[in-house]
Amino acid sequence: MSVEADACVWGALLGACRLHNRLDLAEVVAKKLLLIEPENSGHHILLSNIYSSQGRWRDVAALRSNMRVQSLSKSPGCSWIEVEKNVHVFTGGDIMSHPEHALILKMVEAGYSPDGSFVLHDVEEEEKVHSLRYHSEKLAVAFGILKVPKGMPIRIMKNLRVCGDCHAAIKLIARVTEREIVLRDANRFHHFKDGSCSCGDYW
């Protein structure tokens, strides 16, 4: 590069390491990021995601311990949608507020299978599947399908980066329901339509 890489460039590279399962490179990139932005918990979380996808639970635990020592914490994931001038906020696991089981069944029929590598804890597969089903963005999308009139796009905001499993699920939801879904996460806009996303599955 003709200019020195900043945290945005290194962060994009770390995200690419997650996408391509390049743990060797991810550790090098993470060290660089932690020097540039030591207070940014997102870099720790992304490296933790990479470790957990490889089943390296000791490294995940060490990283979390280091975050506690530095008083860094991950913001809880939440998503929100405005319907008829009212904002509805969802947090992960908030299954009591709005029904979405029928949508999950439709997604399974269309080929959706939760990807447990996006769960950051060493838990049984059944618990991973349960956790992934109730991510805040899935709940917000389900609520949007119930409440936003057909023909209008469903617009959702999320405070963190959308996880890979939710990204795959929302592509299927867009196809199954024949709806346009626009999701603004911490990194970019995702425009889901006809089973694909504007980001080209690279975010």
User: Alpha carbon 114 to chain centroid distance?
Assistant: 13
Q: Which residues in the chain show pLDDT less than 70?
A: 93-133, 203
Question: How many residues are listed for the chain in this entry?
Answer: 203
CB-based contacts of 116-125 (< 8 A; 24+ apart in sequence)? 117/52, 117/53, 117/164, 118/49, 118/53, 118/163, 118/164, 118/165, 119/52, 120/45, 120/48, 120/49, 120/52, 120/60, 121/52, 122/52, 122/57, 122/60
Side chain identity, residue 126: E
- Rounded to an integer, what distance in angstroms lies between the CA atom of residue 62 and that of residue 59? 5
- Rounded to an integer, what distance in angstroms lies between the CA atom of residue 192 and that of residue 154? 10
The reported pLDDT for the residue numbered 154 is 97
The reported pLDDT for the residue numbered 45 is 81
Domains located in the chain, CATH noted: 7-69 (1.25.40), 78-197 (no CATH)
The reported pLDDT for the residue numbered 130 is 47
- Residue position matching structure tokens 């635990």: 61
Neighbours of 44 (CB within 10 A): 21
pLDDT digits (tens, 9 = 90+) for 46-92: 888 788 888 888 998 898 888 888 888 777 788 999 999 999 888 87
Neighbours of 37 (CB within 10 A): 15
pTM of the predicted model as reported, rounded to 2 decimal places: 0.63
